[in-house]
Amino acid sequence: MEGKDLQGYKGKAREILQKYNVRVWGEVVIQSTRGEFKGRVLPRAENTDDIHIVLKVNTGYNIGIDINTITDIKEIGYNVANYAIPEKQFPCTEGLPHVKLLGTGGTIASRLDYRTGAVIPAFSPGELYGAVPELADICNLDTEKIFAVFSENMGPEQYIKLAEAIGNEIEKGIDGIVIGHGTDTLHHTGAALTFMCQNLPVPVVLVGSQRSSDRPSSDAALNLMHAMTAAGRGNIAEVMICMFGPTSDEYGLLHKGTRVRKMHSSYRSTFRTIGDTPLAMVTRKGVEPIKKIFNTRRNDKNVIIKPYFSDKVTMVYYYTGMKPDVIDGLVAAGYKGIIFVGTGLGHVNKLIYPAIRRAQEAGVHMYMTLQTIWGYVQMYVYDTGRDMMAMGIIPAGNMLPEVAYIKLGWALGQTDDHEEVKRLMLTPINDEITEREPYNGYLVYQGGVPEVEEFIKKVHK
């Protein structure tokens, strides 16, 4: 029997199927010590054991049958599921802005195959139109899959490809760009593209979803509509992340690619601007700026693409009891830049000082950021801070750790010169370091406090 007929089955389960001459997609009747079971054999998921066969029974449910209980199997029919995805022509409407959707591999919209349970991604304009027809009221859409990687596998190579693709689209005269992206590292990409695509004339909007689009309660469709609105109709020409404001289906927020962070593993409203307010709110009606100053849309094509990145940069999240060999090891491995994520105002313990000194001597570029996420590095307050600065660690202001990592990689991709790197690092391109933290830039409310309870009873968070 051919391998594809036993899709996913291995070991003993595979042997049993072979023994009774039964295929995946076969309609079968199984006799077992637990009684009779009828259904269609489904492919077995990877990383599952080899002692069960999966059946879809005719009520639509799946069940597993323990092969050790099986006394007989008969195949009484066979019907392969096929996965044709329906496409509808995405309508072209005169007067609507032209938006380009660049795919990176994350699922933007999808369709379910009930027979297999597979989630089939929808990506072409036609497929997207089938899934989210409202998009046709917002813009004229074109799509291109740049590459296909999961969010956690995004890296320098992909940042560079994306930056170049953005440059090309702007050259072709697009009105706005949307990038579909997994959410885990959305903010890394947001920072990278901010540094690589400067002086943007049009919006570049990164969007993802926290609940996959095969679920009726998914945030994907609304996020996509918000992103298209921001890209096609919005006046903010920056690299932005567009995700849910509250967990409710109400409005999206546009965050600067350099000031945003994923703050919850699974919440819809997981992306938050840190140390500042978000750029704007967005609904299907349009973009409502929150910040008064931003880069506005222009008619020219004068974007500056700087697609540089060095992979010799690393990040050290300090913990109490850290030993010098951690730093020594990184230096020995050839890393040229280290972003420290220090405690409090930006500290590490004295035990690793010798290693820091050795790193300095080896010419490693070192910057300090904060585990506290919010606030500024301040290394003058305590002696330890001054000691560290003396050893070449440069405070990175209120730059977020991940952003500092991306920026150092980008800077070292251009030069090795310490002064030039320092200039690049500390000269903000788009608020990765801000001069001031507004009072409403730090808001982490605590539940249980009466006024907070009163607030969240009325206002959706």
Partner 1 sequence: MKKTQFDPEKNYIETREKIGYVPRTEATQETYDKIGFMSGLEVHQQLLTEKKLFCHCKAGVFHKNEEFDAEIVRHMRPTLSELGEYDGTALMEFKTKKEIVYRINNENACTYEVDDTPPFIINKEALNKALQITMLSKFNLVGEVHITRKQYLDGSIPTGFQRTAILGVEGEIQLRNKKVRLIQLSIEEDSCREISDIGHRRIYKTDRLGMPLIETVTYPDMVNPDEVKEACDYIRFLNRSSNNVRIGMGATRQDVNVSCKGGTRIEIKGVAHTKWIPELTHNECFRQWALLAIQKELKNRFASENEMQNWKTNYAELNFDEFKITTEAIKQAKENNHKLIAVNIPKFKGILSHFTQPGKCFADEISDRLKVIACIEKPNMIHNELPNQPITPVDMEIIQLIMQTDEENDSLIIFWAPEADVKTALETIEERCKMAFFEGVPKETRKSFENGTTIFERVLPGADRMYPDTDSTPIPLDNNELEELRKNIPEDVCERINQFQKWQFPEDTFTYLLSKNLFSIIKQTIDLDFNPKFIAKLFGHFLKNYEGKNQNIKIDYNKIIELLKFIKNNHLECEIAFKMLPKIFTNIDNNFENILSEIKFKKYSQEEILSKIDSLSYDFDKVAKERNTKNKIAWIMEELRDTAIGNINLTELKNNIANRI
* Among 318, 311, 365, CA closest to 337: 365
- Binding of partner 1 at residue 453 (CB under 8 A)? yes
Positive or negative, the CA dihedral 371, 377, 383, 387 is positive
219 is catalytic: no
Interacting positions 219-238 with partner 1 (CB under 8 A): 221-222
Contact window for partner 1 (CB under 8 A) among 79-87, 182-190, 282-290, 414-422:
79-87
Neighbours of 45 (CB within 10 A): 9
- Contact pattern from residue 309 through residue 348 relative to partner 1, giving x for each residue in contact according to CB under 8 A and a dash for the rest: ----------------------------------------
- Binding of partner 1 at residue 267 (CB under 8 A)? yes
Interacting positions 25-64 with partner 1 (CB under 8 A): 32, 34-37, 48-49, 51-52, 54, 57, 59-64
Q: Give the DSSP per-residue string, 246-291.
A: SSSSS-EEEEETTSEEE--SS-TT-EEESSS--SEEEETTEEEESS
107 is catalytic: yes
- Binding of partner 1 at residue 7 (CB under 8 A)? no
142 is catalytic: no
Min CB(138)–partner 1 separation in Å: 16
Indicate which single residue of 4, 10, 172, 215 sits in contact with partner 1 (rule: CB under 8 A).
215
Which residue number, 32 or 372, has a Cβ lying nearer to partner 1? 32
- Binding of partner 1 at residue 384 (CB under 8 A)? no
Rounded Cα–Cα distance for residues 34 and 16 (Å): 17
- Contact pattern from residue 401 through residue 440 relative to partner 1, giving x for each residue in contact according to CB under 8 A and a dash for the rest: ----------------------------------------
* Among 263, 265, 298, 267, CA closest to 278: 263
Q: Tell me which residue has tokens 């139109």.
A: 129
Contact window for partner 1 (CB under 8 A) among 98-106, 144-152, 265-273, 392-400:
265-273
- Binding of partner 1 at residue 248 (CB under 8 A)? yes
Rounded Cα–Cα distance for residues 262 and 240 (Å): 14
Indicate which single residue of 77, 95, 334, 447 sits in contact with partner 1 (rule: CB under 8 A).
447
Q: Give the DSSP per-residue string, 211-226.
A: S-TTSTT-SHHHHHHH
Q: Two tokens at 314?
A: 């690393």
Rounded Cα–Cα distance for residues 410 and 81 (Å): 47
- Binding of partner 1 at residue 115 (CB under 8 A)? yes
- Binding of partner 1 at residue 291 (CB under 8 A)? no
Catalytic residue chosen out of the listed positions 56, 100, 262, 407: 262
- Binding of partner 1 at residue 157 (CB under 8 A)? no
- Binding of partner 1 at residue 8 (CB under 8 A)? no
Rounded Cα–Cα distance for residues 200 and 189 (Å): 16
Contact between 211 and 219 under an 8 Å Cβ cutoff? The reply is yes
Total chain residues near partner 1 (CB under 8 A): 61
CA distance to 185, 291, 378, 460, per residue, from 182 (Å): 7, 26, 34, 25
Rounded Cα–Cα distance for residues 354 and 359 (Å): 9
Contact window for partner 1 (CB under 8 A) among 80-88, 317-325, 392-400, 408-416:
80-88
Q: Provide the CB-side half-sphere exposure for 327 (13 A, CA).
A: 29
Indicate which single residue of 211, 284, 306, 358 sits in contact with partner 1 (rule: CB under 8 A).
211
> For every residue of 329-370, which 3-state class applies, written as one string?
HHHHCCCCEEEEEEECCCECCHHHHHHHHHHHHCCCEEEEEE
Catalytic residue chosen out of the listed positions 184, 328, 387, 416: 184
- Binding of partner 1 at residue 164 (CB under 8 A)? no
- Binding of partner 1 at residue 209 (CB under 8 A)? no
The amino acid occupying position 170 is: I
Indicate which single residue of 183, 189, 209, 218 sits in contact with partner 1 (rule: CB under 8 A).
218
**Residues constituting the chain:** 461
- Binding of partner 1 at residue 449 (CB under 8 A)? no
Task: List interacting residues with partner 1 (CB under 8 A).
Answer: 32, 34-37, 48-49, 51-52, 54, 57, 59-67, 69, 81, 84-86, 110-115, 117, 119, 130-131, 210-218, 221-222, 246-250, 264, 266-268, 447, 453, 456-457, 460-461
User: Which residues carry out catalysis?
Assistant: 107, 183-184, 262
